């Protein structure tokens, strides 16, 4: 498989931490040996070994990043399957073209416990595998390519593009949640995906035009 890092925009790819590339290359060298034990699992791979594994992408991502080893992050045996971002529309924002759309305000934090970037018009999307922000807003969070993990991102049409994933935090309704944030180098939408939504209770009150968090 072609290096995911090399599929990123050239100006971004050149800033990826060299250990990310090294760990991606090392993963492919032993990938077939990992299939029996880790097929279908998410892993963090660094220094020639699996340093975290499991079925929850955000939990494995968090554990792997905590090591500080700049691991490669992938689902074993499903390496070519991108993180899918799909859209479901609901009658909440009447100004949205076509069916109206639910939106909420969310605070994205670079560091746990520290104030971050408060954004409105964030789409709570149960069809999205992970959360997404445009690259310009990732930069406002002081995220740099050197902090990111190379990966693939796909929209509803099915085509995929290279992305960078970052471990950040979402502050919502008085609580903080780990977030597997994907950088979007093309689009401009803000999406809160299942990496965070599955840790909340969300009530979509379509007739009333409300999204209620932790009702």
Q: Out of 76-85, 124-133, 154-163, 181-190, which region has the weakest mean confidence (pLDDT)?
A: 154-163
Q: Out of 50-54, 123-127, 186-190, 201-205, which region has the weakest mean confidence (pLDDT)?
A: 201-205
Q: Which carries the bigger pLDDT value, residue 6 or residue 158?
A: 6
Cα 127 to Cα 56, 130, 178, 191, 192, distances in angstroms: 16, 9, 18, 10, 10
Residues 6+ apart with CB under 8 A from 157: none
> Residue ranges per domain, the chain?
5-80, 84-213
| Confidence (pTM) | 0.78
Choose which CATH entry (2.40.70.10, 3.40.50.720, 1.10.287.3510, 3.40.50.300) describes domain 84-213.
Answer: 2.40.70.10
Asked whether residue 96 carries a pLDDT value surpassing 80, the answer given is no
CB of 182 closer than 8 Å to CB of 191 = no
Which residues does residue 106 pair with via DSSP β-bridges, in sequence order?
119
Average pLDDT over residues 70-76: 95
Average pLDDT over residues 189-203: 92
Residues in the chain: 215
Residues 6+ apart with CB under 8 A from 36: none
Token readout for 146 is 């050197």
Asked whether residue 91 carries a pLDDT value surpassing 50, the answer given is no
How many CA atoms lie within 13 Å of 200's alpha carbon, on the beta-carbon side? 27
Please state, rounded to an integer, the average pLDDT across all residues of the chain.
88
């Amino acid at each position: 498989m072609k290096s995911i890092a090399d599929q990123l925009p050239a100006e971004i790819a050149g800033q990826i931490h060299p250990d990310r590339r090294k760990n991606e290359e090392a993963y492919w060298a032993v990938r077939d040996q990992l299939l029996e034990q880790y097929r279908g699992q998410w892993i963090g791979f660094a220094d020639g070994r699996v340093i975290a594994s499991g079925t929850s992408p955000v939990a494995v991502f968090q554990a792997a990043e905590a090591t500080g080893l700049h691991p490669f992050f992938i689902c074993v045996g499903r390496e070519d399957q991108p993180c899918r971002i799909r859209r479901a529309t609901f009658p909440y924002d009447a100004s949205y073209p076509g069916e109206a759309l639910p939106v909420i305000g969310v605070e994205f934090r670079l560091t746990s416990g520290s104030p971050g970037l408060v954004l409105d018009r964030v789409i709570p999307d149960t069809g999205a595998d992970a959360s997404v922000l445009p690259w310009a807003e990732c930069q406002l969070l002081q995220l740099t390519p050197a902090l990111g993990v190379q990966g693939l991102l796909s929209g509803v049409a099915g085509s995929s593009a290279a992305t960078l994933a970052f471990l950040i935090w979402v502050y919502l309704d008085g609580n903080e949640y780990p977030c597997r944030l994907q950088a979007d180098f093309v689009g401009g939408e803000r999406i809160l995906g299942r990496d965070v939504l599955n840790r909340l209770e969300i009530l979509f009150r379509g007739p009333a035009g409300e999204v209620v968090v932790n009702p």
